[in-house]
Chain A
Amino acid sequence: MPDARTKKELTREKFAGFLEWLSPDRDHAGEEYERLRFRLCTFFSQRRCSFADELADETINRVILKSSEEIIEKKIDYCYAVAKNVFRESLRKERRQVDLDEVNLAAEAPEEPSFSRECLDKCLEKLPSDSRNLLLDYFSEAKLAKIKLHRSISESLKTSPTALRMRVMRTKLKLKICVQECMG
């Protein structure tokens, strides 16, 4: 769970500073942020943590605070080191929670907002038509014609199948950010 102490001290300015710390180029900073979050979520979920995304956010929060106070050279290495600390702390917390005295029966996991198809449609509309068609083409294949169709898409775009998959993934990432923003 996020540490209340670090959450309190976070400000919009510090977050903007953190993005700049990741990359001075604003657009690139967004990508770097998503990439870092992916690394952290993957790290925590593959370590079988119950709240991987919250631990990823906690790690980022700590890095934001530290990066606003000190110069950190190896950024991603540093994030990894903080993530390992957060992981160890979470293990200690989990162990403590086994103690019945600390179990808060009233506390429930916050309800997750259900995925908004309206937001998806809005964001799909915002995508350039070639990107939108690429995504829909990628998902529309009939099972038997899959390989053939993917080959034909990649041929029509004059690109390799791996490059096509990368392009699909990047487009999906853009779409995901848009949908998340739309859902608030």
Chain B
Amino acid sequence: MVNALKTTETVREYLLGRVSDETTLEGIEELLFTNEEFCSQVALAEDEIINDYVRGRLSHADAESFRAALPADVERRFKLEMAQALRERALARDLQTVEAQPSFFGSIILFFRQPMYAGAFAVLMIAAVLTVYLTRRASGDQLAELRSIYQQARPTETRISEFGYAPLTQLRGALESAEQNRLRRIENNLIEATEKTSNATTRHALGVFYLTQHDYPKAIKEFDAALKFGDAAKIHNDLGSAYFERAKTEPEDKRLEDLAHSLEEFTKATKLDGNLLEALFNKSLALQELRMPRQAMESWTLYLQKDSSSPWADEARKNLSRLESQQILKKKSEQLLSDFLTAFRNHDDTRAQTIHNETKGLLREPALALQLSRRYLNASQRGDQADAKETLDAMIFIGSFEQAQHSEFFFLN
């Protein structure tokens, strides 16, 4: 029993607040207070959980459990803040190291240039590759830092490349001053990196930063600049996200234009990389938003074939199920209208009145009065006099019925 309590897994479960069995709890506590080695094991495990959380390496479920325990645990909150601050310092140091690299390479180049030009060229190539690698690493670190800020609530409805799952919260309060400082530092570092080396990686990273801050014009500008260095699925995906999110802030005509742009970018991303889940997810969202339900349903289904278990998949399933319900409702409405018109044409008044009675309380799709008004307008618009007249007669039939049966003038009017 004691050995079972000492396993890494049990200790981790305990620290994530997922042990509720009283016997196990007491057993662990007993060991915590009486066994020095076990106490060290628990302390080490807690430290690792905090470090992993700061680096964004905890699974979604573990991160959720970790966050759930934070409000009541001042000590752990302090340790977490310290780990986050240490990581910031470490990243800042890395950046300084990266900036110091070119002069070092420069001296190597000078050293080799004189005797052997071919050798010097080779060194130059190595230096170029290393500079790209180091810039990429520095931008990557800044993005890791940015991702860690949005672990609890994601900044956009769409999926940004390489961002882990977090629910979309509309009511996220103002960021704490510590977070604002971190964001300022990240922005400065990314701008500096872009000024130093303008390439696809640095421009893309800066664009992602602006996207999370809802500064869509700047984000689009950076993504466009990044794409000039070459096609990349992730950049197309994030550019699509920027258009999609900007659409929400635009008037109707511009909104559709931005949505169409976003769909175009997501499609390019999926063509470049068919397994890029972010782009598949976003493409489904865009199709849904563009009121293309059939295509959206196909796209969500395709997404769920590639990702069936993540929290993103849960959102995909909800969207798919909403679209399916809407389709069923639409089908039902069409069927009801068709049944009513058949009864009306056959002068089967009882059947026609029954169908009307069943739907008249509904204010949405299936209500016959609504469907008939729409049918009348459509028929008039396309100049189909016969259809318009038949529909108007059907509306008068309903109105007269209501007047006679319930002294109700609403439908007749």
List residues of chain A with CB under 8 Å of any chain B CB: 35, 37-39, 41-43, 45-53, 56, 76-77, 79-80, 112, 114-115, 117, 120-121, 124, 135-140, 142-143, 146, 162, 165-166, 168-169, 172, 175-176, 179-180
Contact = CB atoms under 8 A, between A and B. Distances in A.
Nearest to B73: A45
Contacts of B54: 139
A48 B25 CA distance: 12
B74 A38 contact: no
A140 B72 contact: no
Given A46-B14, A48-B17, A76-B34, A139 B87 contact: yes
A161 B140 CA distance: 25
Interface size, B (range): 35 or more
A142 B141 contact: yes
Given A115-B178, A139-B90, 5 more contacts: A41-B73, A43-B32, A53-B75, A80-B34, A121-B89
Interface of B: 14-15, 17, 19, 25, 29-30, 32-34, 39-40, 42-44, 46-48, 51, 54-55, 57, 69, 72-79, 81-83, 85-91, 93-94, 137, 140-141, 144, 176-178, 181
Given A114-B177, A140-B94, A166 B44 contact: yes
A147 to B, nearest CB: 11
A39 B72 contact: no
Given A115-B85, A139-B90, A165 B29 contact: no
A80 B30 CA distance: 8
B48 A51 contact: no
A112 B75 CA distance: 11
Nearest to B40: A166
A179 to B, nearest CB: 7
Nearest to B75: A41
A56 B32 CA distance: 14
Nearest to A137: B90
B81 A115 contact: yes
Secondary structure class of chain B's binding surface, majority of residues: helix
B89 A172 contact: no
**Interface of A: prevailing SS:** helix
Given A76-B33, A139-B90, A169 B73 contact: no
Given A80-B29, A142-B140, A124 B78 contact: no
B43 A175 contact: no
A40 B14 CA distance: 14
Q: Which of B40, B73, B76, B181 has the most CB of A within 10 A?
A: B73
Contacts of A120: 82, 85-86, 89
A152 B86 CA distance: 20
B69 A143 contact: no
B39 A39 contact: yes
B75 A172 contact: no
10 contacts: A46-B14, A46-B25, A52-B74, A53-B73, A76-B33, A114-B177, A115-B81, A166-B44, A169-B47, A172-B83
B42 A42 contact: yes
Contact of B82 (A35, A46, A115): A115
A79 B17 CA distance: 22
Contacts of B181: 117
A124 B32 CA distance: 30
A115 B86 CA distance: 12
A140 B96 CA distance: 12
Given A143-B55, A169-B44, A77 B78 contact: no
B55 to A, nearest CB: 7
A176 B19 CA distance: 28
